[in-house]
Structure 1
Amino acid sequence: MKFLRLALFLVLSLCLFNKAHAQSSAELKRRRDKITAELEDLRREYEETRNNKRATIKQLNILKAQIGLREEKIKTVNSEIRLLNSQINSNTNTVHTLQGQLDQLKKEYAAMIVFAYRNQSAYNKLMFVFASKDFNQAFKRLKYLQQFGTYRERQAASIEGTQKELHVKINELDRTKNQKSSLLQEQEKEKENLGKQRSEQDKVAQDLSKQEGQLKKQQKNLQAQYAQINRQFNRALAREIAEARRKAEAEARAEAARRAAAAAEKARAENKSAAEIAEAAKPKVIERKTDSQILTATPEAAKLSNDFLGNRGRLPWPVGAGQVVQEFGIYRSEGITNDNQGIDIRTGAGAAVRSVFEGEVTNVVDVAGSYMVIIRHGAYFTGYVNLKSVSVSKGQKVTTRQTLGAAATDPATGETIVHFEIRNVETPQNPRSWLATQ
């Protein structure tokens, strides 16, 4: 019985592990295939830019995007290899367990064959039955002989079934080892390509540095652009917070006046003195709330803010497909220090820019000839910059993944880059920790 429970437990555990492994493995393979397709698109685009013979900023940015994707692919392959190692260990343990079970079944079956051989004659069987003390014992011995034959057949079937299962697991183990070997080869190839592209990136950067400081000029332009985005975003948020505060304080004053009037009326009804009535009629001092409290003053705003926070790490990307070419935070390039308070995503020309969560459009602002759309989600705000056209307006309610407009292409570089920001009140957040893994 213990043996049966142990076997059942092993089978169930193995089924659950294989199901979880299949889901994780399929997801990792899907991600790896997606990255491979994006790398191929970038490779074709890079070959087109190389035909110009002169190094360009677009060339450099494509190389940066390729390097980022290749690093992501190597991480994905590493995760797949770790999963395969777990499966190999699990299957190896299963093979050993099944081998042990098979050896035990064969040993028991051999003992039964020996017993059956020694008692194979009809005379021995009859003597075994007739040697019983009474009729009940004779009946039990007769049933035992019948059950013994049936049990022997079941043991033979168990041996055959275990042998088949063992064969399946050995084949599965071999396939898994082959998959691991193939992934290790792919990993080495990607590392080699990564090294080549980093070298090429350095060469293109050096060539650009010789072309009258184009890189420095680009970084200065980015510095000015980031500063303008930051100013516009801060102004828009300050106006939104000020308006929310004005409304909240007006409502609080009206509520305080209503309560004071009710208190004065109650004091009169209780025949209190004029001084007590006057004291009761004074509105209470309004407690000053924080900006976050002001922005979540209504139940709807509080729920929206909590829902947005609850989807951290699962928000959809603001574009359908793209690669991050500049991460969040302070970085230094060509002697210029820039502070990117969002992320820059390289995407296709005219790509649809989408809301990452439901909310209300608070501003549509012109920034250096393109549009920035700001959406409020309770105490959180998202900003979408570098749109050539917009399809929403201030005050409009939007849903998750609703199109806000089309991405603009820089005529100087030929690139389409969308700048995306998330802020908690006025504090910039790293969008990477909020967006779902691509």
Structure 2
Amino acid sequence: MKFIKATFFLLLVLAAVNVRAQSSDELKRRKAQLNKELEQLNQDYQETLNNKKATLKQLSILKAKIILRQEKIENINSEIRNLDNQISESTNNVRSLQSQLDQLKKEYAAMILFAYRNQSAYNKLMFLFASKDFNQAYKRLKYLQQFGTYRERQAASIQGTQKELHIKINELDKTKDEKTSLLKDQQKEKETLGNERNNQVKVVSELSQHEGILKKQQRDLQAKIAKTNAAIKDAIRREIEEEKRRLEEEARRKAAEEARIAAAKAKAENRPAPAAAAAPKPVTRTTSSVLNATPEAAKLSNDFLGNRGSLPWPVANGVTTQGFGIYTTPEGIRSESTGIDIRTNAGANVRSVFDGEVIKVVDVSGTYLVMVRHGEYFTVYANLRSVNVARGQKVTTKQSLGTVATEPSTGETEAHFEIYKGTTPVNPKLWLAPN
């Protein structure tokens, strides 16, 4: 029973160590990804500085950098907490091993003292000859042999414990050095974060000095957003209406066919033809039931939902500069994003994230918007310079839809991406695979 409990405890410890190791590895991978994204944003920001004038895009990049920098600092904090746990555990192990070593040495010293006092062959022989009978003599002989063997084992245990203690002390020193390095990295990141926030204030101040330019940029941006949202809502509304008309027409055809069959049957039986049935009343349907009315559409919806969290990104490489939801700009303007903006390379291909059908291709203020239907789900790809698909065309996962546009005045290249379930926008970050 004791053995079973000890084994169970050991398995729990090993599982905890494994989980911690995985967590530590994941934190390191995420930090490496954050470093990569921050490096890309730094390059993009330096490019915007060459324009000599502050723009809203500069603010957008700075905001994205600050968010990533904060996440990186939190990531470092998590690593430090993991290392603190490791240091605490290693310290306890060192203390335990040191205590074991001290006890082993104490026992070994007592054993050596005993052996020293009884080391003469005469004493050993007297010990044997003092036996009452042969059996007792034999047992005493075995005792002397086992005592020697035990002494050798104790010496080996001391050496093994000393070696293990040395390893644990080295591991502890290494962990402490790693923590020191992380603390320096943390301090450096906090200083960089402070500088980026100062730059943000500086850009806002510069923009406020050019209020006319700022307002024009805001008007142009808001107008494009409004046009994009209108095009998306119109496309979804038309798709739902077309599906409803198709379902109503199918219901009318079915009723007419049933009436024709009933009339033919009455004629064959020499009965009067039944009175014409009233036209079927429109059935109230939910958006989901309309868009999933066919088995093909229902399967596509199911497959799309099944890939939540693992959909490929609409561009091969990119960094999110604006997330989903309501946000407030540094200059105090409250706005809402129904998708995400992805900073990417000039001329990058924009790809479909899943199998589907193109339902809309439209020009929005000089750039193109492509919309793809996946059953009751829709994906939107905006700010395209060119497109190579057409309405009604079937597309597959990662198929190129076109190329992303680059803003001529700033040299910035950003793709806009949205996901809708019916008429409701959802957060793309929860659907895309980790970048």
Tell me the equivalent position of 1:159: 158
Query: 1:370 and 1:76 mapped to 2: Cα distance?
Result: 38
- Is 1:425 aligned to 2:433, yes or no? no
Aligned CA distance change for structure 1 residues 283 and 47 (closer, same or farther; 3 Å) = closer
By how many angstroms is 1:245 displaced?
3.3
Once the two structures are superposed, the pairs formed by residues 223-234 of structure 1 within 5 Å of their partners are 223-234=222-233
SS, match of residue 54 in structure 2? coil
Tell me the equivalent position of 2:325: 329
Aligned CA distance change for structure 1 residues 110 and 204 (closer, same or farther; 3 Å) = same
Query: 1:263 and 1:169 mapped to 2: Cα distance?
Result: 90
Once the two structures are superposed, the pairs formed by residues 8-407 of structure 1 within 5 Å of their partners are 12-13=11-12, 15-126=14-125, 128=127, 139-251=138-250, 287-331=283-327, 333=329, 337-407=334-404
Moved more, 416-425 or 400-409: 400-409
Moved more, 8-17 or 334-343: 8-17
Q: Deviations over 1:122-144 (max 9, x none)?
A: 45445555666665655555444
Identity %: 62
Aligned CA distance change for structure 1 residues 119 and 372 (closer, same or farther; 3 Å) = farther
TM-score, length-normalised on structure 1? 0.83
- Is 1:435 aligned to 2:420, yes or no? no
**1:365·1:373 contact (CA, 8 Å) conserved in 2?**
yes
Q: Which amino acid aligns with 1:204?
A: V
Q: Which amino acid aligns with 1:356?
A: V
By how many angstroms is 1:348 displaced?
1.9
- Structure 1 residue ranges without an equivalent (≥5): none
Q: Deviations over 1:270-314 (max 9, x none)?
A: x9xx89x969x9999785331112223344433443443344344
By how many angstroms is 1:358 displaced?
3.6
**1:330·1:340 contact (CA, 8 Å) conserved in 2?**
yes
Q: How many residues are paired up?
A: 434
Q: Please report the RMSD computed on the Cα atoms of aligned residues, expressed in angstroms.
A: 3.9
Q: Which amino acid aligns with 1:432?
A: K
Query: 2:140 and 2:256 mapped to 1: Cα distance?
Result: 99
Moved more, 59-68 or 129-138: 129-138
Query: 1:159 and 1:135 mapped to 2: Cα distance?
Result: 36
By how many angstroms is 1:155 displaced?
2.8
Query: 1:262 and 1:138 mapped to 2: Cα distance?
Result: 113
By how many angstroms is 1:232 displaced?
0.9
**2:346·2:413 contact (CA, 8 Å) conserved in 1?**
yes
- Is 1:409 aligned to 2:406, yes or no? yes
Moved more, 19-28 or 163-172: 19-28
**1:324·1:345 contact (CA, 8 Å) conserved in 2?**
yes
By how many angstroms is 1:244 displaced?
3.1
By how many angstroms is 1:52 displaced?
4.6
Query: 1:9 and 1:164 mapped to 2: Cα distance?
Result: 26
By how many angstroms is 1:409 displaced?
0.4
Aligned CA distance change for structure 1 residues 66 and 137 (closer, same or farther; 3 Å) = same
TM-score, length-normalised on structure 2? 0.83
**2:48·2:411 contact (CA, 8 Å) conserved in 1?**
no
